[in-house]
Structure 1
Amino acid sequence: MGVTSPRCIAVLGGSFDPVHNGHVALAGYFARLLVPDEMRIIPAGQPWQKQGLQTLPAHRVEMARIAFRHLAVPVTIDEQEIRRTGATYSIDTLRALREELGPDASISFLMGADQLQKLQTWKDWQALFELAHLCAASRPGYGIDDTRIAPEVAREFARRAATPEQIRHTPKGLAYVATNLAVDISATQIRAALEQDGDVASLIPAGVLDYIQQHHLYRN
């Protein structure tokens, strides 16, 4: 009998308030790069750095389901952060995932450029590497030496830099920065446009926009 490789899981968390094409592009990019066995999408409960989500969890879960259903890898919408009471921290989510998936699975935690630029403010951010790989998108044309990335974060990413192949076959502790993913979409701007009946068709997956309109979300 052949030896089976440990599972490779990519994890994308977010408020998804609403989910937009930037989220989908980030998931799609790393789906192609890592070819994970599963993409785990985790809508936030009460993220400690964001005040008051505008939309009920059930709506954000359904928008995520619609937005990510066409990814080229199996997708699971994981509601653990929504079920958790109190503030939600990525470190707690990754601990729960590691416990669920076991010590051998490769877990890659995906983040956009905006999250990379404030990673040093996250709770126990260095300990994230003890549970998973961190895979981030930088701004197009900027590497890890981008001045907007904290020096201590840049040092960790440089020290742990790895290839997608290494990440796939190692459980945790490595880093990857994509510098060719042009995504600059703000959920805040989208919500403001929706309030004013603005055109956001180029920013949101069509199915998600239909869902928003059907349920009259983001209206005053």
Structure 2
Amino acid sequence: MTQQTNKTANSKSIQALFGGTFDPIHYGHLLPVEALAKQVGLQQVVLLPNHVPPHRPQPEATVQKRLAMIKLAIKNNPLFSIDTRELKRKTPSYTVETLLSFRQQIGRQKPLAFIIGQDSLLSISTWFDWQKILDFCHLLVCARPGYSTYFSTPSMQQWLKNHQVHEPEILSDKPFGAIYLTDTPLLNISATEIRERKRDRKSCKDILPPAVLRYIDKHHLYQNCL
């Protein structure tokens, strides 16, 4: 990551992180985050590919191939960069530990945000040490088709109410602790759908960046039988 050359100008800019298996990376990852960046005023979003995700099956593509696809997807897009610290872990990638690592790197005063989907917000109470997450960052929540905007328990709904902010400007005024529900495009795209389409020899042109699709075809990814 580049060093700050103008501390006064950049001290309030929000550093945003977006994690996932990216197996493969697709428009459902990229387009909502690009819209979110415009809403919130993000200058850069750091992509954090997981090595051992704790809440889902292990990725089909290797670490090297997933990383190669991410690089192809964000080439010539200055909004995105990549951080590989989670890929170097042999243990599950717990969000709170990654956030602690970033805090140790950037200090306690710089605004830090973690981007998640509505589905992840609603299941956040199942995450490891989830109560500590807002001690390190803000949560920026992208809408997901078919998911409720309410928690199933009053206590979690109250937790959201206690931390939710409605003006994005607030996010740069404090380093952590807020939840902002963004008005991003509802794209019903999933990596599972892409893998199923590839196995069924169906087109993925509408849901994958062209360079990523070419890479998948070249390396014959996601073509094994279920």
Shift of the 202–154 alpha-carbon distance from structure 1 to 2, 3 Å rule, reads farther
CA root-mean-square deviation: 2.2
Matching residue of 1:90: 95
Counterpart Cα distance in 2 of 1:209 and 1:2: 40
TM-score, scaled relative to structure 1: 0.89
Matching residue of 1:122: 127
Deviations 1:157-202 (A, max 9, x none): 2221222111123210011112453122121121111112111111
Contact 2:36 2:183 in 1 (8 A): no
Secondary structure, counterpart of 1:49 in structure 2: coil
Identity %: 28
Secondary structure, counterpart of 1:194 in structure 2: helix
Matched, 1:155 2:158: yes
Deviations 1:67-119 (A, max 9, x none): 2335452x221111110111111111111111111111111100112212211
* C-alpha deviation, 1:14, in angstroms: 0.5
Shift of the 34–178 alpha-carbon distance from structure 1 to 2, 3 Å rule, reads closer
Deviations 1:12-44 (A, max 9, x none): 000100111110022212221222232110001
Deviations 1:34-77 (A, max 9, x none): 2223211000110111122101111111211222335452x221
Matching residue of 1:39: 45
Matching residue of 2:203: 199
Secondary structure, counterpart of 2:164 in structure 1: coil
Which amino acid is the alignment partner of residue 125 of structure 1?
A: W
Secondary structure, counterpart of 2:9 in structure 1: coil
Counterpart Cα distance in 2 of 1:211 and 1:44: 20
Counterpart Cα distance in 2 of 1:187 and 1:131: 29
Contact 1:144 1:154 in 2 (8 A): no
Shift of the 20–153 alpha-carbon distance from structure 1 to 2, 3 Å rule, reads farther
Counterpart Cα distance in 2 of 1:68 and 1:123: 30
Secondary structure, counterpart of 1:4 in structure 2: helix
- Runs of 5+ consecutive residues of structure 2 not aligned to the other structure: 1-5
Which amino acid is the alignment partner of residue 192 of structure 2?
A: T
Counterpart Cα distance in 2 of 1:5 and 1:49: 35
* C-alpha deviation, 1:142, in angstroms: 7.3
Contact 1:18 1:63 in 2 (8 A): yes
Moved more, 172-181 or 38-47: 172-181
Counterpart Cα distance in 1 of 2:141 and 2:15: 15
Contact 2:141 2:181 in 1 (8 A): yes
Counterpart Cα distance in 2 of 1:80 and 1:150: 34
Contact 2:198 2:222 in 1 (8 A): yes
Counterpart Cα distance in 2 of 1:183 and 1:152: 29
Q: Write out the 4+ residue segments of structure 1 that deviate beyond 4 Å after TM superposition.
A: 140-143
- Runs of 5+ consecutive residues of structure 1 not aligned to the other structure: none
Counterpart Cα distance in 1 of 2:223 and 2:95: 30
Counterpart Cα distance in 2 of 1:124 and 1:143: 23
TM-score, scaled relative to structure 2: 0.87
Matching residue of 1:69: 75
Matching residue of 2:18: 12
Total equivalences in the alignment: 217
Which amino acid is the alignment partner of residue 201 of structure 2?
A: D
Counterpart Cα distance in 2 of 1:30 and 1:62: 24
Which amino acid is the alignment partner of residue 185 of structure 2?
A: L
Among 167, 180, 194, the alignment partner of 1:190 is 194
